[in-house]
């Protein structure tokens, strides 16, 4: 049998996507809407305090298209904290106006294929417990590595897999400064094997990296992809305008 790769695992991750029920939002009184927004912004302030203490991180994006309206991405040291966030948010007034669109549970992952990431190196710790960038655009999608005849990733030799991922990382590094990627592993947690979260200043860079990587052998032969979600950043200060009806 081929040898499993060891991983370094960091913060637990929840992608939580919601659709706004604009009809009931419009029918609510302006006092109700105001108090819902106020409470929601207080939650965001509370999460910001967690981020300032480096005990977690989060971002909020407006999803483009009909798949959802809002996408939250939360990172926390434990899985329990993810359910705490979810439950507290579900109990809030604003959540009464939201429908569940999608969710994804995973953990920040670095795999030990290439030159070793020393676990105590601060740069490794920063990658395992990243403060998420608040860049203008996000793309999130799940992926698998295929287990199909000759193209079974899980029966490919360790050295060969390391070589294919090295080629992959060379494509990735061309996008330094334009794309920030966070790979989260979801074996045993969710329906796919990894979550891929990409941040960009220019949405075209999202298209370019995903397209270019399709031609890397590791994606061409082994990559299988789920649903894609693309979004635009929503800053706390822009929430009033966004929710104004
Ligand atoms: O250790 C490292 O992080 C550097 C080498 C590296 C690994 C091991 C690396 C670099 N990746 C690795 C592993 Mn990646 N990555 C993806 C996608 O759409 C697609 O075709 C694939 C989705 C993107 C866009 C991307 C970007 N990578 C992985 C793994 C785990 C494989 C395993 O364990 O079997 C997956 C699923 C995956 C998928 N990757 C990079 C990038 C970018 C931009 C880099 C360069 C980062 C940098 O060095 O700055």
pLDDT band at 35 (very low <50, low <70, confident <90, very high): very high
230 neighbors 67 (Cβ within 8 angstroms): no
Q: Which residues pair with 12 in a beta bridge?
A: 76, 107
Nearest Cα to Cα of residue 102 among 10, 224, 242, 228: 228
Mean pLDDT of 109-128: 92
Asked if pLDDT for residue 27 goes beyond 90, the answer is yes
Q: Classify 233 as helix, strand or coil.
A: strand
* Ligand 1 centroid to residue 53 C-alpha, Å: 28
Q: Read off φ and ψ for residue 128, nearest 5 degrees.
A: -80, -30
Helix (H) or strand (E) segment spanning residue 105: strand 98-111
* Ligand 1 centroid to residue 35 C-alpha, Å: 42
Q: Cα(17)–Cα(121) distance, rounded to whole angstroms? A: 34
52 is in an annotated binding site: no
The finding on whether 163 has its CB within 6 A of some atom of ligand 1 is: no
Mutation choice for ligand 1 from 196, 219, 230, CB with most ligand atoms inside 8 A: 196
The yes/no answer to whether this complex scores an ipTM above 0.85 is yes
Beta strands in the chain, from DSSP E residues, in sequence order: 7-20, 57-63, 70-76, 98-111, 137-145, 147-148, 151-152, 179-185, 194-200, 223-225, 229-233
The finding on whether 116 has its CB within 6 A of some atom of ligand 1 is: no
Token pair for 245: 């009806």
Give pLDDT, residue 40: 98
Mean pLDDT of 176-202: 98
Q: Which residues contact 127 (CB under 8 A, 6 or more apart)?
A: 10, 108, 110, 117
134 neighbors 225 (Cβ within 8 angstroms): no
Model pLDDT for residues 68-108, shown as the tens digit of each residue: 999 999 999 999 999 999 999 999 999 999 999 999 999 99
The finding on whether 173 has its CB within 6 A of some atom of ligand 1 is: yes
Q: What is the mean pLDDT of the chain?
A: 97
The active-site residue out of 12, 61, 113, 141 is: 141
Mutation choice for ligand 1 from 169, 179, 224, 225, CB with most ligand atoms inside 8 A: 169
Q: Classify 145 as helix, strand or coil.
A: strand
pLDDT band at 116 (very low <50, low <70, confident <90, very high): confident
Question: In degrees to the nearest 10, what's the CA dihedral of 175, 181, 187, 189?
Answer: -150
Give pLDDT, residue 3: 95
Mean pLDDT of 167-185: 98
Integer-rounded Cα radius of gyration of the chain: 19
Exposure string of 131-163, with b = 16+ CB inside 10 Å and e = fewer, is ebeebebbbbbbbbbeeeeeeebeebeeeebeb
Q: Cα(113)–Cα(100) distance, rounded to whole angstroms? A: 37
175 assigned to active site: no
Token pair for 128: 């395992």
- Number of CB atoms found within 10 A of residue 19's CB: 17
pLDDT band at 58 (very low <50, low <70, confident <90, very high): very high
pLDDT band at 128 (very low <50, low <70, confident <90, very high): very high
Q: Cα(235)–Cα(151) distance, rounded to whole angstroms? A: 43
Mean pLDDT of 51-78: 98
71 is in an annotated binding site: no
pLDDT band at 235 (very low <50, low <70, confident <90, very high): very high
145 is in an annotated binding site: yes
Give the predicted TM-score (pTM) of the model. 0.97
Q: Cα(143)–Cα(139) distance, rounded to whole angstroms? A: 13
Asked if pLDDT for residue 28 goes beyond 90, the answer is yes
The finding on whether 179 has its CB within 6 A of some atom of ligand 1 is: yes
Model pLDDT for residues 161-171, shown as the tens digit of each residue: 999 999 999 99
* Ligand 1 centroid to residue 173 C-alpha, Å: 9
Asked if pLDDT for residue 115 goes beyond 90, the answer is no
Give pLDDT, residue 117: 83
Give pLDDT, residue 114: 84
The finding on whether 2 has its CB within 6 A of some atom of ligand 1 is: no
Mean pLDDT of 31-44: 98
């Amino acid at each position: 049998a081929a040898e499993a790769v060891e991983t370094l695992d960091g913060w637990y991750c929840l992608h939580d996507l919601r659709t706004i029920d604009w009809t009931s939002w419009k029918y609510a009184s302006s006092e109700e809407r105001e108090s819902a927004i106020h409470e929601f912004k207080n939650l965001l302030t509370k999460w910001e305090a967690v981020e300032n203490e480096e005990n977690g991180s989060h971002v909020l994006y407006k999803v483009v298209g009909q798949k959802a309206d809002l996408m939250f991405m939360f990172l926390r040291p434990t899985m329990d904290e993810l359910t705490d966030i979810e439950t507290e948010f579900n109990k809030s007034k604003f959540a009464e106006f939201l429908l569940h669109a999608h969710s994804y549970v995973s953990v920040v992952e670095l795999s030990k294929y290439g030159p070793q990431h020393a676990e105590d190196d601060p740069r490794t710790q920063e990658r395992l417990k990243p403060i998420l960038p608040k860049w203008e655009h996000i793309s999130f999608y799940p992926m698998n590595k295929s287990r199909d005849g000759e193209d079974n990733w899980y029966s490919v030799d360790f050295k060969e897999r390391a070589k294919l991922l090295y080629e992959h990382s060379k494509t990735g590094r061309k996008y330094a400064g334009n794309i920030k990627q966070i790979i989260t592993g979801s074996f045993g947690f969710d329906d796919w094997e990894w979550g891929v979260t990409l941040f960009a200043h220019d949405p075209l860079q999202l298209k370019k990296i995903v397209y270019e990587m399709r031609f890397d052998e590791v994606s061409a032969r082994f990559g299988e992809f789920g649903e894609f979600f693309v979004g635009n950043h929503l800053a706390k200060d822009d929430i009033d305008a966004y929710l104004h009806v």
